[in-house]
Homo-oligomer: A and B are copies of this chain.
Amino acid sequence: MKAIKPVLALTATLVLAACGTSMTASSESGGPLLIQQQGSFAAGGTTNTAPGTFDPRKPLEPAGQTYHGDHAYTFYQIPVNARKLPILMWHGAGQFSKTWETTADGREGFQNIFLRRRFGVYLIDQPRRGDAGRSMVEATLKPTPDEQLWFNQFRVGLWPNYFNGVQFDRSPETLNQFYRAMTPNTGPFDLNVVSDGVSALFSKVGPGILFTHSQGGGPGWLTAIKNSNVKAIVSFEPGSSFIFPEGELPPPIPSAFDTVRGEATPLPQFLQLTKIPILIIYGDNIPGQSIDLPAQDSWRARLQMSRLWRDAVNRHGGDVKVVHLPEIGIKGNTHFPMSDLNNVQIADLVSKFLAEKGLD
């Protein structure tokens, strides 16, 4: 396919010149999306069979019946003239594919932005979440009011106040959409189950780039260990499950919310993480010192653990970079840089990384 790219470009240019419009430019700046292919499928998962023999006259009895669950689900789009590696985008805790779609205030999210930049985009619902809701383990879902926790934990502000200069629209409808972008676990969260599901997805898709968010960070590292089709990771505010080699675990980092701990893995598995470029991005309003506000302080501990993890991977020959956005002059980002008001600027940062690493 490499050989024909110049032909495509040339043809397109000639055509565009002849017709007096520019689809490519228009597409990047908000015109129509040119989608070569789109669809959805399930990947991975397991199956259970109840003992006995199925009786079609007693269909409500489980005897002899099967149950498929714990798969990942993806909706994907491949743009015309796509780059070689697609991007697989993985949500965090309590979230689903929406993380990457239309922002709460109605702008384009990373799904459209990276389609316009000619990447294939696969949006993931991890096993036991959203449209991949068929879980192999029972769960009880309770509608417990918790949104002020999330307002603070996602660093929109300190409820009911927004942070000064926060990159988040303040209209009530934006907050309404933001809260309704959550959906519960339909079974217990399980690092291995979710990373198995996303690994199965990479086996179907082939080589690709993984974007993770928050809780997706930890199982994202595990997925890269399990599947060499993960060619790079961009991790937005990874929240837990930092994997260190056995014998190199750093001391736990206490915070006003919880204690952040590394997880030990045998060295050969850990070394998988040294083979791919990894970019980690954290937003603003993360304190430099301990404070007694659990939401913000939890991110102080996580940013600190990320840096220890970066050092461990790089010590073994890896290529991990941690970008704390305020340190490079980008201010006001919440826990969701991919949907914040400045998300095009964040996308530019990611595009630069992908270009530098030869991944585009």
* Chain A interface residues toward B at CB < 8 A: 1, 3-4, 7-8, 10-23, 32-36, 38-42, 45, 48-50, 54, 56-57, 59-60, 62, 64-69, 71, 73, 75, 80-81, 96-98, 101-102, 106, 108, 112, 125, 130-149, 152-153, 158-159, 176-177, 179-184, 186-187, 256-257, 292-295
Contacts and interface: CB of A to CB of B under 8 A. Distances in A.
Given A18-B15, A98-B131, A148-B65, A32 B36 contact: yes
B135 A143 contact: yes
By Cβ-Cβ distance, the 3 closest A-B pairs, closest first, are A39-B102, A42-B180, A133-B183
Given A18-B15, A56-B152, A32 B32 contact: no
Nearest to A153: B59
B148 A66 contact: yes
Nearest to A52: B145
A96 B62 CA distance: 23
A134 B257 CA distance: 25
Contacts of A176: 42, 68
A40 to B, nearest CB: 4
A38 B112 contact: yes
Contacts of A75: 75, 101
Given A68-B147, A139-B140, 5 more contacts: A7-B11, A32-B34, A32-B35, A42-B177, A65-B145
30 contacts: A4-B7, A7-B11, A10-B36, A10-B80, A10-B81, A14-B15, A15-B19, A18-B18, A32-B36, A32-B80, A38-B112, A41-B102, A42-B176, A54-B148, A59-B153, A60-B146, A65-B149, A66-B148, A67-B144, A68-B180, A69-B143, A73-B98, A75-B75, A125-B131, A130-B130, A130-B183, A134-B183, A138-B140, A139-B140, A143-B187
Contacts of A73: 98, 180
Kindly report how many copies of this chain are found in the complex they form together: 2
Contacts of A131: 96-98, 125, 130-131, 183
Contact of A184 (B98, B133, B136): B133
A57 B4 contact: no
Given A17-B34, A98-B40, A143-B137, A183 B11 contact: no
B65 A147 contact: yes
A96 to B, nearest CB: 5
Nearest to A184: B133
A145 B67 contact: yes
A114 to B, nearest CB: 13
A183 B39 CA distance: 18
B294 A59 contact: yes
Contact of A67 (B33, B42, B147): B147
Given A48-B143, A49-B145, A65-B147, A14 B12 contact: yes
A197 to B, nearest CB: 11
Contacts of A1: 3
A335 to B, nearest CB: 14
B98 A57 contact: no
A141 B17 CA distance: 48
